[in-house]
Amino acid sequence: EVQLVESGGGLVQSGGSLRLSCAASEFPFSTYPMSWIRQAPGKGLEWVSIISTSGADTYYADSVKGRFTISRDNSKNTLYLQMNSLRAEDTAIYYCVGGGFRDWFDPWGQGTLVTVSS
């Protein structure tokens, strides 16, 4: 069964940093572009960032550009999101998701909650 398991979420103060990880199993990780998508409490879905299969190409939503960095380690089947200068509006569940390069998002992890206190 395909699994994407996020970790690294938690409570952090405004201005602080967190690093999210997403471990993939039973999934051809190195052949998939990977994305982070977030969902603020009670709100809709917001695409955050995407990385190509090699990691050479990365793109970001304007809301996180310059503060967040996406990366991947194909030897470890792991995706990362380094989040700096966190703001209260970054509070959300962060999902690790396959796809997004001119295609749909699938599969999805279960998400990890990031709470930024002001």
Partner 1 sequence: EIVMTQSPATLSVSPGERATLSCRASQSVSTKLAWYQQKPGQAPRLLIYDTSTRATGIPARFSGSGSGTEFTLSISSLQSEDFAVYYCQQYNKWPPRLTFGGGTKVEIK
Q: By CB under 8 A, name the binding residues for partner 1.
A: 35, 44-47, 50, 59, 61, 95, 100-111
Cβ neighbours for 19, distance < 8 A, ≥ 6 positions apart = 8, 80, 81, 82, 83
Least distance in angstroms from the C-beta of 47 to partner 1: 4
CB of 30 to partner 1, least distance (A): 19
Phi, psi (5° rounding) for residue 88? Answer: -55, -35
Task: Decide whether 84 or 101 has the Cβ nearer to partner 1.
Answer: 101
Q: Which is nearer to partner 1, 93 or 116 (CB)?
A: 93
Name beta bridge partners: 118: none
Q: Show the CA angle centred on residue 34, arms to residues 57 and 96, nearest 5°.
A: 140
| Least spacing, CB of residue 118 vs partner 1, in Å | 25
